[in-house]
Structure 1
Amino acid sequence: MPSAKPNEHMRMSLEAKARMRSTERAVFNYYNDMGTNKGHCTWGPGILAHRGVCSEEELGKKVSVTSVEIEFERRVAEAERGVKHNVFVELNQAQFDALVSFTYNAGVHGSSDTYAFLNRGDFAGAALNMSTMTKVKVGRKKVVAPGLISRRAEESAPFRGVAANSSIPNK
């Protein structure tokens, strides 16, 4: 009988974690993720402090290298748990890595539609859904975050060209 959680023993590969760590640049202070007075208050490797821009006090706040590394590892583990708990189809390592990266960035709730596509065996639908998630809310409107375009292309790639109800690519 197949496991209800077929990915429960998986972990993000060291290579994928290193690649993701290089894209989640370490900033040792608080900053606005979309530039001066735009986006959300963020720190370290893309950690959301809160929605809305940072206060002047926050912009002056420094964070340590240790804090950045600890929080990055905690968030990766949280994203891994989210994937393991919410995806009931077997993933290969590349798919698991990509979905953990996606979940790290979009959150478990923000990834729920992608999980639903995967659980229906619609890997192409999951890839398309991931690819469209390139906008962030700035004030009252959503704007394209240029850095998300290439990230989403990379994250969705392992799900493209996959046969329905299979995690094995079509040949």
Structure 2
Amino acid sequence: MNQKEFSNEGRQALTIAEGFMPRLYDDGGNGKGHCTIGYGHLVHYDPCNSQKFHSEQQFINGISVEKGISLLKKDYAFAEVAVNDLVKVSLNQNQFDALVIFIFNVGRGAFYKSTLLKKLNAGSYESVPSELRRWNRSGGKIMNGLISRREKEVVLFNKKVNK
């Protein structure tokens, strides 16, 4: 039904939400960290340890912003597909972009199982902000960064589309 594409404004919001890190870092996921680089590009699901993981070798000297953007474009494609596949109601561009940014962070599987998706597909657009705000934990702990990120997604979801 939707078959939308992530907009330039959505991509810009995602780069701000993710922030750019030119060197490998542990993102804090699940309390132990996942090895990440650039704009949230997952290198592997364990903490960074270049002695142990071959997947880190290509990033050992860091990356440029351009390489980070290139990786990001490949990385967000799954989230774009997820919104187009799973959401059965009409979305405006800002709503679509907000959900792509959200799914980029939490994953397709989590979104697929979410109350947020069930309520949205039932036509309850007004419940989306409160459902987004529920996703504020990592490793069971409330994270200020996720609270801030969800608020930005809520603002984008509720933002009127300029004609």
Same fold (TM over 0.5): yes
Q: Unpaired runs of 5+ in structure 2?
A: 159-163
Q: Which consecutive aligned stretches of 4+ in structure 1 deviate over 6 angstroms post-superposition?
A: none
Change beyond 3 A, Cα 1:154–1:22: closer
- Kept after mapping to 1: 8 A contact 2:10/2:97: yes
Q: CA deviation at 1:157?
A: 3.5
Structure 1: distance between partners of 2:47 and 2:142: 17
Percent of residue pairs bearing the same amino acid type: 32
1:83-98 alignment runs, 5 A limit: 83-98=83-98
In structure 2, what is the equivalent of residue 61 of structure 1? 60
CA contact (8 A) 2:98 2:156 kept: yes
- Whether the 8 Å contact between 2:94 and 2:157 is mirrored in structure 1 is no
For 2:26 and 2:15, locate their aligned partners in 1 and report how far apart those are by CA, in whole Å: 19
- Cα distance between partner residues in 2 of 1:42 and 1:155: 22
TM-score, scaled relative to structure 2: 0.78
The root-mean-square deviation of aligned C-alpha atoms, in Å, is 2.7
Contact 2:27 2:36 in 1 (8 A): yes
Residues 1-171 of structure 1 correspond to what in structure 2 (within 5 A)? 5=1, 7-8=2-3, 10-34=4-28, 38-55=32-49, 57=51, 58=56, 61-65=60-64, 66-112=66-112, 113=114, 114-137=116-139, 142-157=140-155
Q: Deviations over 1:108-151 (max 9, x none)?
A: 112221222211112233322211111112xxxx2223211111
- Contact 1:25/1:45 (8 A) holds in 2: yes
Alpha-carbon distance, 1:90 to partner: 0.0
Task: Quote how far apart the aligned CAs of 1:38 are.
Answer: 4.4
Q: CA separation in 2, counterparts of 1:133 and 1:43?
A: 23
Corresponding letter in the other structure for 1:64: I
TM-score (norm. length: structure 1): 0.75
Instruction: Answer 1 or 2: which has greater helix percent.
Output: 2
Return the alpha-carbon distance in structure 1 between the equivalents of residues 143 and 38 of structure 2.
18
Q: Retained in 1: the 8 A contact 2:15–2:39?
A: yes
